Structure 1
Amino acid sequence: MIFLEAGNKIIQEILLKQFDASTRQPSVHVNGGDFDGTKFVIQSDAGNKNLLTLSIYVHGEKEFNQYGGIELVKKTLPGLDVKAPGLTVDDQKHTFTVTIDVEKEEKNKDKWLKELPRVKTTYMSAVFLQAMDKHAKGEQFEPIKVPYRPDENIYIISYKGKSLVVVYSILFRDPDDVVFANGFLCEFKDAKKDRALNAAPNMNFSQGQLAGELVDVKSVTEPKDERTLKKEGWGFVSIGLLDNHTKADKQLNTAELLLGFRSYLHYHLKCMKAYMHIRMRESVEKLMLNLNAAKDLSGKKTEKKTMSGRTFKQQ
């Protein structure tokens, strides 16, 4: 399995060039996006080529800000200017903007090359960190709804402070993805049978039916009618976290994995479909080779007879 990195490679490569005086560009303006639907713009200041601004737009910013997303970014990037809301670039309003002087901060190059490409993940992790911190203390809280995509949500649910469940609502626009996802996620469920993987979280996948953990949650915006859920292609993935996942030293890693799960799932679904298409093409090519090998290229006419002795005539 391939786990997608929390940091953005495009941002990292641009920073790497700008930190080096020999490769520094006088003007930079790059628009990009990520697998989770976030958008970013990294650009240099018109009056000072050493100043670089990174503006990031995240869907559901209201909820992320409510749970301390901006405060966590400022804490992670001490000494850098963090503004929220961010700049408006190319008619796009951004959630926050980070400004860095690459010449002055060259001594901290390694730190910023690690932290800035993953600043979006840091920002979105705040809601998970707060929920896990409360759970670790045994505190119960109301279900948290995070609209991390325009049409999909993440729900963080605490059951009497004893268990913490994260539920993803996923809209499968391709009917084939539902079949692949069901088989793919069943492997996660069966993995618990292996003693070496007992520490893995519990996982459940339901398609065309509202997840059991969401039945009593009032903030649910997905359809509740099973016919509508099946018709539109809704699926729900529930991940039950264990106590070892919510410990203080494991919280950040757990939050990053939870944030990347949806992209991780769809990435592997596309890989599975691509692999099947490759195998199908290979099978067709082998079949064509066998058919061509069976052709009679001698040019000789052979007489064919039936069981009664009659002869076939070719016209």
Structure 2
Amino acid sequence: MILLQSQSRFLFHTLLNRIQNLDKSVELDHHWVEFDDVRYHIQVSIKNPHILLLSVSLPTPSSETIFIRGLPFGAIEAIKAAYGGLVQILDPPRDAFNLTLKINLSKLPANQEQKHDFLGKVASIREVVLGAPLRVILKHLAFRTVAPNVDPLVALVHRPKESFFVVPQADKVTVVYPMRFSDSIDIVLATSFLQEFVEARRTAGLNNTPHCSWSHTPPLELKGVSADALSANAGFVTFVIFPRHVEGQKLDRTVWSLSTFHAYVSYHVKCSEGFMHTRMRRRVESLIQALDRAKPDLEDAKKKTSRNRSFKRLSLKDSRGNSFS
């Protein structure tokens, strides 16, 4: 299985190309969407080529999700911790965006390795912002405590008007995903994929991974949640995260994997669908080739049949009985 990367490759290469051509007055104005839910806009004006504006539009939150000034809780603190004084948060953000960052490219570190690391962090802005609430909860789990001012059941946005749910406790954190897909084929493939995904957890060598389960009905942790939030057509996936899963450098990987789980499943569902279509096309092509090879044999058989066929000569007679030769 393929793991998704936290960095936006397009954003990273755009920033890197801009850094390498900082002395050139080139205007940039790019829009793009990733994971079908997060929209980006990067802009550099000719008048001030050293100033780059990066705007991010997050998925529309559901009614269960709480956004503070257009961002998940803990996002502002996470941005300051990740980028320090090299990034300025514009308030208010640009129109139709949840966040706008102002980056002075001339103030980046002179060391190439440090510069690349910083650009990689900027390219991971999705993880920093959307993963901020989960990071706060899992950081406290590492110390076996519960984050203050956090509800017993937390709804976090991961798709437009769709949420997954987190149950924070001192000794473990339970994460539940209602899995929804719009296409009927995707529903069937996702259901099969998730069942196999849970079964793979039982194989040797995966004993230290988080406990994972799948069910048709909502787990007990979601008791009291509205029916609209539980309208899942591909079942419910539950992960149980323990302190050992968030120790040290494991925290970043765990936050990213959990915050993009639905995108991870969607990616593999589309890959499976594409693989099956490829096999079907190859099968059709092989059948057509077999039919093409059979055509000459049929023509030869027709010729042989026509040669061996005998015809009787008919004698025609008129009304008086005289025959025509």
- The TM-score normalised by the length of structure 1 is 0.83
Amino acid at match of 1:148: H
The unaligned stretches of length 5 or more in structure 1 are 304-310
Question: How far did residue 236 of structure 1 move?
Answer: 2.1
Q: What is the DSSP-based 3-state SS (H/G/I as helix, E as strand, rest coil) of the residue aligned with 2:49?
A: coil
Correspondence 1:170 to 2:168? no
Q: Deviations over 1:105-160 (max 9, x none)?
A: 262522322111002211222111111133334345511011332231110013x5
Alignment match, 2:299: 297
Q: Which residue of 1 aligns with 2:288?
A: 288
Q: Distance in 1 between matches of 2:201 and 2:160?
A: 33
- Distance, in Å, in 2 between the alignment partners of 1:82 and 1:70 is 11
1:151-166 equivalent positions in 2, closer than 5 A: 151-158=161-168, 161-166=170-175
Match of 1:308 in 2: none
In structure 2, the partner of 1:31 is 31
1:203 aligns with one of 197, 209, 212: 212
Deviates more, 1:136-145 or 1:124-133: 136-145
Quote the offset at 1:12 in angstroms. 0.9
Calculate the aligned-residue CA RMSD, in Å: 2.5
What is residue 183 of structure 1 aligned with on the other side?
192
Residues 77/156 of structure 1: CA separation in 2 closer, same or farther (3 Å cut): same
Give the Cα separation in 2 of the matches to 1:77 and 1:174: 39
Residues 72/240 of structure 1: CA separation in 2 closer, same or farther (3 Å cut) = same
Change (3 A) 1:287 1:21: closer
* 1:100 correspondence with 2:103: yes
Aligned runs of 1:59-208 on 2, under 5 Å? 59=59, 60=61, 62=67, 65=71, 67-83=73-89, 85=91, 87-88=93-94, 92-105=95-108, 107=110, 108-140=114-146, 142-158=152-168, 161-207=170-216
Amino acid at match of 1:97: T
Change (3 A) 1:234 1:139: same
Letter in 1 for 2:187: V
Q: Secondary structure at the match of 1:294?
A: helix
Deviations 1:254-289 (A, max 9, x none): 101112211111011001001001101111111122
Conservation of the 8 A alpha-carbon contact between 2:38 and 2:58: yes
Amino acid at match of 2:176: V
| Separation in structure 1 between the aligned mates of residue 119 and residue 229 of structure 2, nearest angstrom | 42
Q: Confirm or deny: 8 A CA contact 1:70 1:84 kept in the other structure.
A: no
What residue identity is the alignment partner of 1:174? D
Does 113-122 or 52-61 show the bigger shift? 52-61
CA distance in 1, matches of 2:106, 2:46: 16
How many residues align? The count is 291
What residue number does 2:47 align with?
47
- Indicate the larger mover: 277-286 or 141-150: 141-150
Structure 1 residue aligned with 2:221 = 213
- The superposition leaves residues 71-100 of structure 1 with CA deviations (integer Å, 9 ceiling, x where unpaired) of 111111012233254532xxx422222212
Structure 1 pair 38–51 and aligned structure 2 pair: CA distance change class (3 A): same
Question: Are the counterparts in 2 of residues 80 and 98 from structure 1 also a CA contact under 8 Å?
Answer: no
Contact 1:182-1:205 within 8 A present in 2 as well: no
Q: Secondary structure at the match of 2:182?
A: coil
Matching residue's letter, 1:40: Y
TM-score using structure 2 length: 0.80
Decide whether the 8 Å contact of 2:86 with 2:108 is kept in 1: no
Contact kept in structure 2, 1:156 and 1:166, CA below 8 Å: yes
Asked if 2 retains the 8 angstrom alpha-carbon contact of 1:19 and 1:109, the reply is: no
Q: Which amino acid aligns with 2:212?
A: M
Return the alpha-carbon distance in structure 1 between the equivalents of residues 226 and 86 of structure 2.
Answer: 38
Q: Which whole-Å CA distance do the structure 2 matches of 1:142 and 1:85 have between them?
A: 31
- Output the CA distance in 1 between the equivalents of 2:86 and 2:299: 77
Tell me by how many angstroms 1:65 deviates: 4.0
Greater CA drift, 246-255 or 173-182: 246-255
After TM superposition, where is structure 1 displaced by more than 6 Å over at least 4 residues in a row? none
- C-alpha deviation, 1:244, in angstroms: 1.5
CA deviation after TM superposition for structure 1 residue 66, in Å: 5.3
Q: Deviations over 1:159-208 (max 9, x none)?
A: x533311112232111221221122122222223223110112222334x
Aligned residues of 1:19 and 1:106 also touching (Cα < 8 A): no
